[in-house]
Chain A
Amino acid sequence: MLNMSDNDSVQTRNWNVLVFMAGVVILFTVLLVRLFSLQYLDYDENFQRSENNRLRRVVLVAERGFIYDRNGEVMVRNRPSYQIALQAMHLPRKKEERAAIFDRLLHIVDKNGERMFDSLSLDTAFQRTAWIKNRPIRILEDASPEQVAVIEEHSSELPGVTTLIESRREYPYGTLASHVLGYTSEISEEQLKLPEFADYSQGDRIGQKGLEQHYDSEFRGKNGLKLVEVNAMGREVGLVRGVESEPPVPGLHLVSTIDLKLQKVAEDAIADSVKGALVAIDPRNGEILAMVSSPRLDPNIFSLKKRERNKGWAQVALDSMRPLTNRAISGTYPPASVFKLVTAGAGLENGILSETKYYPKSCTGGYQFGSRYQKCWGVHGNLNVVHALRLSCDVFFYQAGLDIDMARINEFGRRFGYGEKPLGIDIPGEKAGWLPDSASFNERNKRVGWRWARGLILNLSIGQGQLVTPLQQATFIGSLATNKGVYRPHLMKELRDYKGNVVKEFEPEIVRPGKMKPETHRILLAAMDSVVNHPGGTGKRGALPGIRVGAKTGSGEWKKGEKTHAWYAAVAPLYDPQIAVAVILEAAGGGGAKAAPIARKVMMAYFGIEEEAKK
């Protein structure tokens, strides 16, 4: 008892404590009055409600938007899928009764005499009921109607086992345009933790890759909600009176720029055993008309039940041909001789090359640079730029490249879409490629210790050493022909709501300048023309009857002793460009022989020209 002298303050303090306790009593009394009114005055009503009106919130899942091709053909739709699930809150609480249900489920066999459930996964599901009370736990995915019938028949013996209808993605054309479309799968635990997936909840299906991923938020729509009464068995009795349901808002439908007819022709032209890619694009606005990456995968496997899905997934994931990669946008290859158009363009643009410019060394099958002898693929004699492009002569471009210098060549290439930045296509995974110059070459090869040397220009000026995607090749040749800028390549034409109203249209957008002097343009077009339409041109197998095609072939060296990558980039009609096509076939041989006929087929289909019966 230290300081009792200040008696007054102690008395005040004690009085204040009393006031505090009085406050406590008053506040608690208020609570008790409310409790009394709830538990005594309104007891009957509340008791009835707790007995009969068992309220339950039911999420009404919004229908995922479809994908159509540009002519309105369905490319992706939904199908109903039955799920058999455990409802933890309706399972009996007693251990023995649960075990009985477990046994009953385990002994259900389908008409082939096979067990519907395996004991391991059933056991896991039963264990999970301990944690997950408010959500159904799936025990059989994508069940067949017969399986559902069996469960429904025995529903009275199986309290807590329910059937749910979900909607799953269906791709009616299977592997067709699979890399463009992507697929859907259940959202993963890792994704759920990320802030950008805050709107998603467990069990939601989410788009993976392709359009399914990029436009997922548009496809999803908005889930609805209803408040229902359920009975003690957990079956719905009806809606709660006076509470309006919130209907789901279906997701938006996407009308793609893809032309299904063209896509089919392109898919048929490239066998699944070949690694390769094809891109057909409208250079006037960047709409992609067809995009193939081979080998393909069937996105339908991701909608199957777990066991089959895992099997399918293991197959594609472990395949050494890497069918999961969309080579059209993620595959980077040396551009090969197609790049000679860039070298030529840079030379013409800077006044270093012209139609009358000849180099002192004519092509005798190779070129001596210092101590090195660089070969050409033929013996071409002395050429000007147009002839050199037609014959794809290396010796001419070795000398031109040394003359023009890498900085100018790369500047011209970037102007038309090659280089360090992706073009911004609206599906994920696009690569930027690489245009080496001394700085970036040294940076990239620091680890191996390689340094930039002037001799490298020789290879780079004929397109060996850069990295480009097939998409870049297609946009390049297309914008070269239009000379009106490089448009952002895109696959979405418009988004429509479920009533068919257009909600959003893709606005064409110029992402690279894509312009050159008219003189340069004229000479390059003449060269592209002669590649196809001159009897000695390397791309003559790409010619179309009645329509002038301009093109450039390429044969990319990638490994000593292996066949070259076959490149072909074409545009038609050359003086009024409507379609640009780039084809690559990995390790297939010469571009003019292997790739050109494929592009030709696609162009024939585009212009509606029937193949004449040759045989």
Chain B
Amino acid sequence: MKLDHFLDNTRKVDWLFLGITLALMTSGVCLVYSATANDNLPFYETLWFKQILYFAGGCLLAAGIVFLRLDWLKRATVPLYVLSLVFLFVVLFVAGDVVKGAGRWIDLGFFKLQPSEFAKIAYLLTISYWLSRHPVSLYKIKTFVVPALLFIVPFGLVLKQPDLSTALVFIAVTYVAFFFAGLTLTDMFLLASPVLSVLFSHSQELVFQVLWGLLICAVVFALVRRKLPKVLTVLFLAANILAGYASSMAWNMLEPHQQKRVHTFLDPTSDPKGDGYQVLQSLTAIGSGGLTGKGFGQGTQTNLAFLPEEHTDFIFSVLGEQFGFAGCLFILVLYTLFLWRASSTCKLFADPFITLITMGACTIFLFHMIVNIAMTIGLMPVTGLPLPFLSYGGSFALTCMVLVGGILCMRFQGWRQ
């Protein structure tokens, strides 16, 4: 009987998912080791060892989370949400420690809490819980009121820190959550269209002008097909056209260092002494890795410390240089498997709460992966988002493991229902 019970429980754990996660964590520790290896330190002071400790702590945390029952989680959403807002307030107005010019940490003595990491998770729970009971529809605009309110407060506080890239995580989570809470693919396109408009109309080049024209046509087509309420139809059209013409205005609203980042992003060589320096070094490091890389611990760029922040934000350059295209492909395949396995969890159950939590977690992972890698290969501006499981850093490692724990929990607790 007992054995049966045990076997039953083990069957509820997604061992494949756990295995993929473990493979990613191992890769991460190896890369941190290679980026920061140091003969002169005892092993317990090295960064790679600290990273192992962070992951170990994260695994314990995740194991604990697996046993949280769904109804507990649902009941805990409101308190957690409020608590996260309190933390954000505190860090912003009371006790912010200044790291790189932005107050983002609360020093609890034994641990430096990063309230925006905590808020990511609390917000994911809250928005999932609300949307699981109140689906949204573009035909009933009222359904967006509460989600919008839930979103705007933590988003605004994080933006005020100022931490633009983390604030964008909130947008991504909300966007995908809407997709799984009632909106269609066409709706998703319409929601994203003003952003695309800004991107396309930003340049005066013919290609972009044509692209923008095509986009407007597509928007009109989508609107005609969806037969949305008149207010929304007008709103979407106006938003697109305004976005097209107002992108230069919006450009002026960006802070100078953000403008500079965008400039550098468009052409990293334009500022090789400043912001572009990191990108240029990163491109050189990755490019010089070739198809198979220079071998473990053999990166000349990274070993000579040409690359700043190589073990945190630019860990992907270490991977690219030492393991080449093959290494990058390997990690991206692992990532794909990871996301596939995580997202397939929700297919087992009908509960929309489980779906929303799982897909939200996947979105957080995906967003970090894309933004970070795109940054190291010069496709996106330099932001401070770390790479899941690979970048060095305690706070984010814990966030990742909490999310992994959450996904495992959904599967484990889903079966119990």
Would you call B41 an interface residue if the criterion is a C-beta within 8 Å of the partner chain's C-beta atoms?
yes
Which of chain A's residues have a CB closer than 8 A to the CB of B284? 46, 49-50, 53, 55
User: For B290, what are the chain A residues with a Cβ–Cβ distance below 8 Å?
Assistant: 39-40, 43, 47
Min CB–CB distance A215 → chain B (angstroms) = 26
CB pair A89 B305 closer than 8 Å:
yes
Q: CA separation between A227 and B276, bound complex, in Å?
A: 12
A127 to B39, CA, bound (A): 11
Is A448 an interface residue when CB atoms closer than 8 A count as contact? no
* Residues of A with C-beta under 8 A to B289: 39
Distance (Å) between the CB of B45 and the closest chain A CB?
A: 9
Q: In whole angstroms, how far apart are the Cα atoms of A50 and B306 in the complex?
A: 10
Q: Would you list which residues of chain A between 4 and 41 have a CB under 8 Å from chain B? A: 4, 6, 9-10, 13-14, 16-17, 19-21, 24-25, 27-28, 30-32, 34-36, 38-40
Query: Which secondary structure dominates where chain A touches chain B?
Result: helix
The digit string for A152-169, where 1 denotes a CB below 8 A from any CB of B, is: 000000000000000000
In the complex, whether A243 has a CB less than 8 A from a CB of chain B is yes
Complex CA distance for A133 and B300, rounded to whole angstroms: 14
Q: Complex formed: what's the CA distance from A9 to B340 in Å?
A: 20
Assess the A47–B291 pair: CB atoms within 8 A.
no
Set of chain B residues within 8 Å of A36, measured between Cβ atoms? 325
| Residue in contact with B377 in the complex, picked from A4, A31, A133, CB distance below 8 Å | A31
A3-B350, A28-B332, A55-B281 known; A129 and B379 CB under 8 Å? no
The reply on B10 being an interface residue by CB < 8 A is: no
CB pair B273 A57 closer than 8 Å: yes
Query: If A16-B179, A45-B287, A46-B288 touch, does A32 touch B329 (CB 8 Å cutoff)?
Result: yes
B370 interface hit (Cβ, 8 Å): yes
CA gap between A246 and B272 in the complex, in Å? 12
The verdict on B264 contacting chain A, using a C-beta distance below 8 Å, is no
Q: Is A2 an interface residue (CB 8 A)?
A: yes
- Measured CB to CB, the nearest residue on chain A to B338 is A24
Given contacts A16-B180, A35-B320, A227-B272, contact A93 B39 (CB under 8 A): yes
Chain A residues in 8 Å Cβ range of B281: 55
**B351: nearest residue on chain A (CB-CB)?**
A2
| Complex CA distance for A1 and B417, rounded to whole angstroms | 7
A60 CB to nearest chain B CB (Å):
11
Q: Mark B303-327, 1 if CB is under 8 A from A, else 0.
A: 1111010000000000011001100
Interface centre among A35, A54, A93, A193 (most CB of B within 10 A): A35
State whether the Cβ of A95 lies closer than 8 Å to any Cβ in chain B: yes
Stretch of B12-20, B249-257, B341-349 with 4 or more beta carbons under 8 angstroms from chain A: B341-349
* A86 CA / B256 CA spacing, docked (Å): 36
A42 contacts across to B, CB distance below 8 A: 287
List the A side residues contacting B346 at CB < 8 Å: 13, 17
In the complex, A45→B269 CA distance in Å?
15
Query: What is the total number of residues of chain B having a CB less than 8 Å from a CB of chain A?
Result: 61
Q: How far is the CA of A47 from the CA of B305 in the complex (A)?
A: 17
Chain A residues within 8 Å of B349, by CB: 1-2
The answer to whether B335 touches A38, judged by C-beta atoms less than 8 angstroms apart, is no
Question: Whole-angstrom distance from the CB of A308 to the nearest CB of chain B?
Answer: 30
The yes or no answer to B166 lying at the interface (CB within 8 A) is no
* B300: min CB distance to chain A, Å: 6
Nearest-CB residue, chain A, relative to B277: A57
Given the known interface contacts A13-B346, A17-B347, A225-B273, the answer about A32 and B306 at a Cβ–Cβ threshold of 8 Å is: no
Distance between B212 CB and nearest chain A CB, rounded to angstroms = 20
Closest to A198 in B: B101
A51 at the interface (CB under 8 A from B): yes
> Closest CB-CB distance, B268 to chain A, in whole Å?
12
Contact A40 B343 (CB under 8 A): no
Asked if A88 is at the interface of the complex by the 8 Å CB criterion, the answer is: yes
0/1 per residue, B265-294, Cβ < 8 Å to A? Answer: 000000011000100110111111111000
| Contact partner, A126, options B40, B101, B378, Cβ 8 Å | B40
Q: Which residues of B contact A24 (CB under 8 A)?
A: 336, 339-340, 366
Does chain A have a CB within 8 A of B373?
A: yes
* Minimum distance in angstroms from B328 CB to a CB of chain A: 5
Is A31 touching B373 in the complex (CB atoms < 8 A)?
Answer: yes
Report if B215 contacts A (CB, 8 A): no
**Residue B350 contacts which of A6, A39, A53, A127 (CB distance < 8 angstroms)?**
A6
Which residues of A are found within 8 Å of B128, using beta-carbon distances? none
Query: Size class of A's contact patch?
Result: 35 or more
Would you call A240 an interface residue if the criterion is a C-beta within 8 Å of the partner chain's C-beta atoms? yes
Contact across chains for B283 and A46 when beta carbons are under 8 A apart:
yes
Contacts of B374 in A (CB 8 A): 31
A96's nearest neighbour on chain B, judged by CB, is B39
Indicate whether B176 reaches chain A with its CB closer than 8 angstroms.
yes
Instruction: Assess whether B357 is interfacial by the CB under 8 Å rule.
Output: no
What's the least CB distance linking B181 to chain A, in Å? 10
The verdict on A240 contacting B38 (CB below 8 Å), with A50-B284, A51-B300 known, is no
Within 8 A of B (CB), among A341-365: none
B344's partner among A17, A27, A47, A55 (CB-CB below 8 A) is A17
The answer to whether A246 touches B39 (Cβ under 8 A) is no
- Known A-B contacts A2-B351, A198-B101; the reply to A50 vs B366 at CB < 8 A is no
Q: Are A54 and B335 in contact (CB under 8 A)?
A: no
**A31 to B332, Cβ gap below 8 A?**
yes
CB-defined contacts of B98 to chain A, threshold 8 Å? 193, 195
**A526 to B300 alpha-carbon distance, docked (Å):** 85
Complex partner residue of A55 from B38, B306, B350, B359, CB under 8 angstroms? B306
Verify B305–A38 contact, CB threshold 8 A. no
B355 on interface, CB distance cutoff 8 Å:
yes
> Which A residues are in CB contact (< 8 Å) with B332?
28, 31-32
B350 near A1 (CB under 8 angstroms)? yes
Kindly list chain B residues whose C-beta atoms are within 8 Å of the C-beta of A193.
98
Give the docked Cα–Cα distance between A32 and B373 (Å): 10
A487 to chain B, nearest CB (A): 41
Does B180 contact A133, Cβ atoms closer than 8 Å? no
Cα–Cα distance between A49 and B332 once the two chains are bound (Å): 26
In the complex, whether A134 has a CB less than 8 A from a CB of chain B is yes
* 8 A Cβ contacts from A155-199 to B: 193, 195, 198
In the complex, the chain A residue whose C-beta lies closest to that of B188 is A19
Chain A residue nearest to B339 (CB atoms) is: A24
Q: Roughly how many angstroms separate A339 CA and B160 CA in the complex, as a whole number?
A: 57
Q: Is the CB of A20 within 8 A of B38?
A: no
Contact B343 A50 (CB under 8 A): no
**Smallest beta-carbon distance A58→chain B, Å:** 10
Tell yes or no: A130 within 8 A of B by CB.
yes
* A21: contacting residue among B285, B339, B417, CB under 8 A: B339
The answer to the question of A322 belonging to the interface, with a C-beta cut-off of 8 Å to chain B, is no
Question: Measured between C-beta atoms, what is the minimum distance from B189 to chain A in Å?
Answer: 12
Please name all residues of chain A whose beta carbon is closer than 8 Å to the beta carbon of B3 when the two chains form the complex.
none
Whether B325 pairs with A243 at a CB distance below 8 angstroms is no
Q: Given that A31-B377, A35-B320, A40-B290 are known contacts, is A20 also in contact with B343, CB under 8 Å in the complex?
A: yes
Determine the distance from Cα of A225 to Cα of B272 in the docked complex, in whole angstroms. Answer: 11
Q: Give the CA-CA distance A2 to B70 in the complex, in Å.
A: 13
List which A55-106 residues lie within 8 A (CB) of chain B. 55-57, 88-90, 93-95, 98
- Residue B161 is within 8 A (CB to CB) of chain A in the complex: no
Contact B339 A130 (CB under 8 A): no
Instruction: With A28-B336, A31-B370 as known contacts, state yes or no: A38 contacts B185, CB within 8 Å.
Output: no
A379 to B38, alpha carbons, bound, how many Å?
A: 86
Interface residues of B in 214-266 (CB under 8 A from A): none
The A-contacting residues of B in range 363-403, CB under 8 angstroms, are 366, 370, 373-374, 377-379
Nearest 10 pairs between A and B by C-beta? A46-B287, A50-B288, A133-B305, A38-B287, A89-B305, A39-B325, A47-B288, A46-B288, A95-B39, A89-B304
Given contacts A2-B351, A35-B286, 5 further A-B contacts (CB under 8 A): A31-B332, A39-B290, A40-B325, A49-B287, A90-B304
- Could you pull out 13 A-B pairs where Cβ atoms are within 8 angstroms? A2-B349, A17-B343, A35-B320, A38-B320, A39-B289, A39-B320, A46-B286, A54-B304, A55-B284, A95-B40, A127-B40, A130-B40, A226-B273
Using a CB–CB cutoff of 8 Å, the interface residues on chain B facing chain A are 38-41, 98, 101, 176, 179-180, 185, 272-273, 277, 280-281, 283-291, 300-301, 303-306, 308, 320-321, 324-325, 328-329, 332, 335-336, 339-340, 343-344, 346-347, 349-352, 355, 359, 362, 366, 370, 373-374, 377-379, 417
